[in-house]
């Protein structure tokens, strides 16, 4: 496909996207009234916006959002670092992988969010249990992607490096590590959205901080608009995290052919 | 020293152990000597152990019996005298063309300025200079293979082991690449062992052609190509004696006899 038709395709797609957004917002504003849906079920857009302003002024919406965002950031960074390091270690040591794989599999199957109450029992109503859930949930997709990437490096590439008398460290830094970057970023993308899930569940289970707390507080007050505001803010936090990963990925993986735009 | 032996296999046998404790003999009692500056082709049926010989020569595999020598030194492992090139270009997608060419010399610890100078000179020779800063995915298959050749030559090996280097490119590109390889080998005075399935390629590019048997692979024939112009396969192609050599190779490999449908 030519560059020109690519651009016009992208432009048309964006126009449709914006149109859909307008339709969605309009349906949210006037749909509940037309269909006689009570506002404690679906509050119209304007009521949610009004509630957002009220929460900003009275309930410390910014503070709660910042706490959640900070937990997501810390959990994501630590979780992905640990996942990547573990992935490389297991990728380079088949023995370790065989020894550890049943436990890793078990941990991977166990629903990570179910650990939230346990962590709160251990660490109290602080930020730490939330971060820990995020670490746990981010760890696996990153580790599995890195492990698979290291394992699937073309053996002929390794042989090529060996024929040039490359050391083990050179093979890692010049071949295995760069070869693992595209799958690593795929794992990071998944991890960035999962980190939000981990943090929110932690906040829902206990404590009086963060958007997850506002969610359960709004529920207790039967304040549907508040719940909506919290969901929107969580989506924004997750969106920013995802966007940052994409930005970094585009800088690091600039050498890859421009792939067909999928938007995800 | 025209008779200096650059690459030698002495009575090399290679066995692989298989499931069930049985062993498979890939090559048996192979002896090959390639003189300085000589280009020798190795042809044979699929699975006759040609690539095994290449791995032994480059030090990536140790023979079960026998020995390999490069530049008079016994091959104990990978060494700087040998470089290989495969059907796959093995270019690293995250490196530019010039960085790919420098891959080997970089590992060997050649100084940065020197390795860039060498890479640029090779890219000039192979008409790739203007693509120095392109990434592999931006190149055609033929160009990628030329970059692979440049990377192989950059480490300045005395012996090149080539395993079907052009079998993945289209027929026209292949002829161009063969011509460039022949001229480059001649100009640089390199010794080469070329593994190929292409009989015409073997005859036009080589001083000698060795024929291997079905597994376990043994050398069953050796044909000296007595046509001038080893550095000019394009002209050699037109020589009337080419057909005779190709026919003899076909006979040796049993091509035509076993494929013929009984009347």
**pLDDT of amino acid A195:** 94
Give A19-77 pLDDT, tens digit per residue: 999 999 999 999 888 888 888 888 989 989 999 999 998 888 999 999 999 999 999 99
Strands B208-212 and B39-43: parallel
Q: Are B27 and B14 in contact (CB under 8 A)?
A: yes
Give A55-69 pLDDT, tens digit per residue: 998 888 999 999 999
Q: Across the interface, which of A162, A181, A257 has its CB nearest the CB of B78?
A: A162
**pLDDT of amino acid A259:** 59
What's the token pair of residue A236? 């924004």
A154 → chain B, closest CA residue: B90
**pLDDT of amino acid B93:** 93
User: What residues in A contact B60, CB-CB < 8 Å?
Assistant: 159, 162-163
Domain A44-252 has CATH 1.10.10.10: no
- Asked whether the beta carbons of residue B88 and residue A156 sit closer than 8 angstroms, the reply is yes
B82 → chain A, closest CA residue: A163
Domain range annotation of chain B: 1-81+160-258, 89-156
- Asked whether the beta carbons of residue B79 and residue A165 sit closer than 8 angstroms, the reply is yes
> Which residues is B193 bridged to in the sheet?
B40, B161
Sign of torsion over alpha carbons A186, A191, A192, A194:
positive
* Tally of CB atoms within 10 A around B59: 20
A173 → chain B, closest CA residue: B107
Q: What is the ipTM of this complex?
A: 0.86
Q: Across the interface, which of A154, A156, A257 has its CB nearest the CB of B137?
A: A257
**pLDDT of amino acid B256:** 63
- Asked whether the beta carbons of residue A164 and residue B94 sit closer than 8 angstroms, the reply is no
Scanning A93-208, the segments in alpha helix (DSSP H) are 94-109, 116-123, 128-151, 155-163, 168-171, 177-205
**pLDDT of amino acid A5:** 74
Cα separation, B224 vs A71, in Å, equals 74
Cα separation, B235 vs B253, in Å, equals 26
Chain A: nearest CA to B186, how far in angstroms? 23
Domain range annotation of chain A: 1-36, 44-252
Which string of DSSP letters, residue by residue, matches B121-176? HHHHHTT-GGGTT--GGGS-HHHHHHHHHHHHHHT--SEEEEESTTTTS-HHHHHH
What's the token pair of residue B145? 């293979």
Q: What's the pLDDT band for A82 if we cut at 50, 70, 90?
A: very high
- Asked whether the beta carbons of residue B78 and residue A165 sit closer than 8 angstroms, the reply is yes
Residues sharing a CB contact under 8 Å with residue B123, sequence separation 6 or more, in sequence order: B97, B98, B101, B129, B131, B132, B150
A259 → chain B, closest CA residue: B137
Residues sharing a CB contact under 8 Å with residue B223, sequence separation 6 or more, in sequence order: B208, B209, B210, B211, B245, B248, B249
- Asked whether the beta carbons of residue A255 and residue B94 sit closer than 8 angstroms, the reply is yes
Instruction: For tokens 């529920």, name the residue.
Output: A219
Q: Across the interface, which of B60, B92, B94 has its CB nearest the CB of A159?
A: B60
Residues sharing a CB contact under 8 Å with residue B162, sequence separation 6 or more, in sequence order: B84, B85, B181, B192, B193, B194, B195
For an interface test with A, give the residue of B92, B115, B157, B160 to mutate (most A CBs within 10 A): B92
A252 → chain B, closest CA residue: B94
Which string of DSSP letters, residue by residue, matches A183-227? HHHHHHHHHHHHHHHHHHHHHHHS-S-HHHHHHHHHHHTT-HHHH
Domain B1-81+160-258, architecture per CATH: 3-Layer(aba) Sandwich (3.40)
Chain A: nearest CA to B13, how far in angstroms? 21
Give A234-251 pLDDT, tens digit per residue: 999 999 999 999 999 999
- Asked whether the beta carbons of residue B107 and residue A181 sit closer than 8 angstroms, the reply is no
User: What residues in A contact B79, CB-CB < 8 Å?
Assistant: 165
- Asked whether the beta carbons of residue A181 and residue B94 sit closer than 8 angstroms, the reply is yes
- Is residue B80 less than 8 Å (CB to CB) from chain A? yes
Q: Chain A to chain B, count of Cβ pairs less than 8 Å apart?
A: 53
What pTM, to 2 d.p., does this model score?
A: 0.84
Chain B: nearest CA to A166, how far in angstroms? 6
A175 → chain B, closest CA residue: B92
Give A166-219 pLDDT, tens digit per residue: 999 999 999 999 999 999 999 999 999 999 999 999 999 888 899 999 999 999
Q: Are A134 and A198 in contact (CB under 8 A)?
A: yes
CA atoms within 13 A on the CB side of A8: 4
Chain B: nearest CA to A157, how far in angstroms? 6
Give B100-137 pLDDT, tens digit per residue: 999 999 998 889 999 999 999 999 988 888 999 999 99
> What mean pLDDT, rounded, does chain A reach?
90
- Asked whether the beta carbons of residue B137 and residue A181 sit closer than 8 angstroms, the reply is no
- Asked whether the beta carbons of residue A163 and residue B84 sit closer than 8 angstroms, the reply is yes
- Asked whether the beta carbons of residue A163 and residue B135 sit closer than 8 angstroms, the reply is no
Residue stretches of chain B with pLDDT short of 50: 1, 263
**pLDDT of amino acid B1:** 47
What's the token pair of residue B75? 């091959």
Q: Across the interface, which of A156, A157, A164 has its CB nearest the CB of B104?
A: A164
Could you tell me what percent of chain A has a pLDDT over 90? Answer: 59
């Amino acid at each position: 496909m030519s560059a020109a038709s690519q651009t016009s395709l992208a432009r048309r797609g964006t126009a449709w996207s914006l149109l859909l957004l307008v339709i969605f917002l309009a349906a949210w504003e006037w749909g509940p009234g037309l269909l006689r849906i009570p506002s404690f079920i679906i509050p119209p857009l304007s009521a949610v916006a009004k509630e957002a302003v009220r929460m900003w002024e009275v309930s410390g919406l910014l503070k709660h959002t910042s706490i959640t965002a900070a937990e997501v950031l810390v959990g994501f960074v630590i979780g992905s670092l640990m996942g990547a390091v573990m992935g490389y270690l297991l990728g380079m040591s088949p023995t370790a992988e065989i020894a550890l794989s049943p436990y890793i599999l078990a941990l991977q199957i166990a629903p990570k969010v179910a650990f939230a109450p346990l962590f709160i029992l251990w660490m109290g109503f602080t930020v730490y249990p939330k971060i820990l859930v995020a670490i746990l949930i981010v760890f696996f997709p990153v580790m599995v992607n890195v492990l698979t990437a290291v394992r699937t490096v073309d053996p002929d590439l390794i042989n090529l490096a060996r024929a040039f008398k490359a050391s083990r460290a050179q093979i890692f830094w010049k071949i295995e590590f760069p070869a693992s970057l595209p799958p690593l970023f795929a794992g990071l993308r998944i991890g960035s959205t999962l980190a939000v899930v981990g943090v929110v569940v932690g906040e829902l289970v206990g404590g009086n901080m963060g958007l997850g707390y506002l969610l359960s507080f709004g529920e207790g007050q039967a304040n549907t608009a508040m719940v909506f505001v919290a969901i929107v803010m969580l989506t924004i936090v997750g969106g920013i995290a995802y966007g940052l990963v994409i930005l970094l990925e585009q800088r690091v993986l600039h050498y890859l052919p421009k792939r067909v735009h999928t938007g995800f | 020293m025209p008779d200096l032996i650059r690459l030698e296999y002495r009575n090399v046998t290679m066995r692989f152990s298989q499931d069930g404790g049985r062993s498979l003999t890939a090559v048996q009692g192979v002896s090959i000597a390639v003189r300085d500056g000589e280009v020798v082709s190795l042809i044979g049926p699929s699975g006759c152990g040609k690539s095994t010989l290449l791995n032994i020569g480059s030090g990536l595999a140790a023979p079960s019996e026998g020995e390999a020598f490069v530049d008079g030194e016994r091959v104990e492992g990978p060494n700087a005298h040998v470089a290989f090139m495969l059907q796959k270009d093995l270019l690293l997608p995250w490196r530019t063309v010039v960085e790919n060419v420098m891959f080997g010399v970089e590992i060997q610890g050649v100084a940065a300025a020197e390795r860039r100078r060498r890479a640029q000179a090779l890219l000039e020779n192979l008409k790739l200079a203007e693509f120095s800063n392109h990434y592999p995915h931006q190149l055609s298959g033929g160009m990628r293979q030329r970059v692979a050749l440049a990377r192989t030559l950059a480490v300045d090996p005395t012996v090149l082991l080539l395993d079907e280097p052009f079998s993945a490119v289209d027929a026209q590109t292949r002829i161009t690449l063969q011509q460039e390889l022949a001229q480059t080998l001649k100009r640089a005075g390199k010794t080469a062992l070329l593994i190929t399935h292409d009989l015409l390629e073997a005859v036009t590019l080589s001083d000698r052609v060795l024929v291997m048997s079905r597994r376990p692979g043994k050398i069953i024939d050796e044909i000296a190509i007595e046509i001038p112009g080893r550095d000019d396969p394009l002209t050699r192609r037109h020589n009337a004696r080419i057909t005779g050599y190709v026919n003899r190779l076909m006979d040796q490999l049993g091509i035509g006899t076993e494929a013929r449908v009984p009347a």
